[in-house]
Amino acid sequence: MQNVTTSAESTESDLISRAQRGDRQAFGELVYRYREGVVNVVYRMCGDSNLAEDAAQEAFIRAWQHLPGYRPESPFRNWVYRIATNAALDVLRREKETVNIEGISLIATSAGPEAAAESDERARRVQEAILALPPASRVVLILREYEGLSYKEMTETLGIPIGTVMSRLNYARTRLREMLATYLEAQ
Handedness of CA 50, 105, 120, 154 (dihedral sign): positive
Is 94 a binding residue for another protein by CB under 8 A? The answer is no
Rounded to the nearest 10 degrees, the angle between the axes of helix 135-145 and helix 162-179 is: 90
- From 8, 9, 71, 102, residue interacting with another protein (rule: CB under 8 A): 71
Sketch the per residue contact string, 123 through 152, with another protein: x for CB under 8 A, - otherwise.
Answer: xx-xx--x-----x--x-x--xxx---xx-
Is 155 a binding residue for another protein by CB under 8 A? The answer is no
Coil/strand/helix, residue 97: coil
Q: Which stretch binds another protein (CB under 8 A): 8-16, 33-41, 94-102?
A: 33-41
Is 43 a binding residue for another protein by CB under 8 A? The answer is yes
CB atoms under 10 Å from CB of 64, counted, come to 16
- From 14, 22, 97, 163, residue interacting with another protein (rule: CB under 8 A): 22
- From 13, 14, 36, 163, residue interacting with another protein (rule: CB under 8 A): 36
What is the rounded CA–CA span in Å between residue 22 and residue 146?
32
Amino acid code (one letter) for 24: R
From residue 177, how far is each of 119, 146, 164, 168 by CA, in Å? 18, 17, 20, 14
Task: Tell me the closest approach of the beta carbon of residue 114 to another protein, in angstroms.
Answer: 18
Is 10 a binding residue for another protein by CB under 8 A? The answer is no
- From 15, 16, 26, 44, residue interacting with another protein (rule: CB under 8 A): 44
